[in-house]
């Protein structure tokens, strides 16, 4: 029997819950967290086996604090998962778009759907902690004239009617999720890695680091900078790379020592970005 418990941000019916079910199976046991920090803490304390953590969206960009949480709590990335995010407007039975005056959802969901609501100026958009949580509250409290933006899974679980489907602006809207663990694990056929670099404070250090990646034919799929706390105007760089052979990646890490004050491997795992997603 599988005793794995997976931490997710949000509740059942959330997009994190959807990813957990797709990655670990429909019957996955989840621990619901109210924040990403709580999620990271649960993994760090090993009160859960692994966690699902959103890291970036093709429309709204990166969730910057989550890079810091992976680093701060000494977590390891062991996988990734992409889902096409479908944003849907839902409310109590009997409501219509004309009767709705307020819509609640996560700030990123609201951002992705802002163009849809331009044709409904009477509707006020209000930020909430979680997409599914907003749907649940409407159902449990019987909130009239109120709608939520969430997944069809949330509408099904909380028995809400769909007023409009796929209301997000970008129909290719996709979110990338990390699978994180405290212990780490050997991943078969790994071909992607996430790194943290603190570069030497000298001219051209970033260029030199990028030239090393180019020299060894690594494909940099992402680079993100974050300020280093208590060190004004100094930054950590979080970089994702793909590679064909693990020994080549090991050589790259050795070469990066020449241009960095510190470097850290946050995870080596299987690249999922090339897979076709419907």
Task: Encode pLDDT of 214-256 as tens digits.
Answer: 999 999 999 999 999 888 888 999 999 999 999 999 999 999 9
Residue among 45, 149, 33, 51 at smallest CA distance from 97 = 149
Question: Which residue, 147, 181, 215, sits at the end of a domain?
Answer: 181
Q: Are residues 76 and 94 in the same domain?
A: no
Same domain, residue pair 35 and 77: yes
Identify the H or E element spanning 254.
helix 246-256
pLDDT recorded at residue 275: 52
Distance CA 134, CA 131 (A): 5
Residue 66 counted as domain residue: yes
Answer yes or no: do 39 and 177 share one domain: yes
- Decide the pairing of beta strands 174-181 and 161-164: unpaired
Domain containing 12: what range? 5-84+173-181
Domain end residue (candidates: 119, 149, 181): 181
Statement: residue 65 has pLDDT above 70 = yes
Active site residue 243: no
In a domain, 21, yes or no: yes
Spatial separation of the C-alpha atoms in residues 192 and 80, rounded to whole Å: 10
Indicate whether 275 belongs to any domain: no
Same domain, 230 and 96: no
Q: What's 97's DSSP letter? A: T
> Contact 212/248 with Cβ under 8 angstroms?
no
Kindly state whether residues 58 and 159 are assigned to the same domain.
Answer: no
d(CA 38, CA 75): 13
At residue 277, the pLDDT reads 41
Q: What is the pLDDT of residues 205-214, one digit of tens each?
A: 999 999 999 9
pLDDT at residue 274 in the model: 55
Same domain, 38 and 64: yes
pLDDT above 70 covers a percentage of the chain that reads 97
175 among known catalytic residues: yes
pLDDT of 265 reads: 96
**Any residues with CB less than 8 A from the CB of 199 and at least 6 apart, and which?**
205, 206, 209, 237, 259, 260, 261
Query: What tokens appear for 66 in the block?
Result: 């989550």
Residue 152's Cβ-side half-sphere holds a number of Cα atoms within 13 Å equal to: 7
Residue 99 sits in the same domain as residue 43: no
CATH number, residue 33: 3.40.190.10
Rounded to 5 degrees, what angle do the CA atoms 96, 147, 138 make?
A: 120
* Domain closes at, from 151, 181, 211: 181
Tell me the whole-structure pTM to 2 decimals.
0.84
Q: What is the pLDDT of residues 2-57, one digit of tens each?
A: 689 999 998 999 999 999 999 999 899 999 998 999 999 999 999 999 999 999 98
The pLDDT value recorded for residue 60 is 77
pLDDT at 1: 42
Residues 152 and 19 in one domain: no
Q: Is residue 265 part of a domain?
A: yes
Report the SS3 class of residue 164.
strand
Same domain, yes or no: 131 and 201: no
pLDDT at 108 over 90: no
> Which residue among the candidates 24, 49, 175, 238 is catalytic per the annotation?
175
Co-location of 52 and 177 in the same domain: yes
Catalytic residue among 24, 36, 117, 177: 177
State the total domains in the chain.
3
Regarding whether 92 and 24 lie in a shared domain, the answer is no
Residues 76 and 112 in one domain: no
């Amino acid at each position: 029997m599988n005793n794995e418990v997976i931490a997710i941000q949000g509740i059942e019916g959330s997009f994190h819950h959807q990813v957990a079910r797709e990655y670990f199976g429909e019957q996955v046991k989840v621990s619901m967290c109210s924040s990403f920090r709580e999620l990271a803490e649960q993994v760090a304390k090993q009160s859960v086996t692994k966690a699902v953590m959103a890291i970036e969206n093709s429309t709204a960009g990166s969730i910057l604090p989550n890079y810091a949480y992976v680093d701060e709590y000494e977590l390891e990335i062991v996988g990734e998962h992409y889902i096409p995010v479908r944003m849907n407007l839902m409310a109590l039975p009997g409501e219509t778009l004309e009767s709705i005056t307020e819509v609640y959802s996560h700030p990123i969901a609201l951002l992705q759907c802002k163009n849809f609501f331009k044709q409904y100026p009477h509707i006020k958009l209000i930020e909430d902690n979680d997409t599914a949580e907003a749907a649940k509250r409407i159902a449990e409290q019987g909130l009239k004239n109120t709608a939520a933006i969430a997944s069809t899974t949330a509408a099904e679980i909380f028995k809400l009617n769909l007023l409009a489907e796929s209301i997000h602006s970008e129909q290719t809207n996709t979110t990338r999720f990390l699978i994180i663990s405290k212990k780490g694990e050997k991943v078969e056929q790994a071909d992607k890695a996430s790194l943290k670099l603190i570069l030497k404070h000298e001219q051209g250090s970033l260029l030199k680091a990028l030239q090393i990646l180019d020299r060894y034919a690594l494909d940099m799929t992402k680079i993100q900078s974050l300020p280093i706390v208590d060190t004004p105007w100094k930054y950590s760089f979080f970089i994702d790379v793909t590679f064909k052979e693990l020994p080549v990646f090991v050589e790259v890490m050795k070469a990066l020592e020449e241009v960095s004050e510190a470097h850290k491997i946050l995870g080596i795992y299987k690249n999922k970005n090339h897979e076709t997603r419907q």
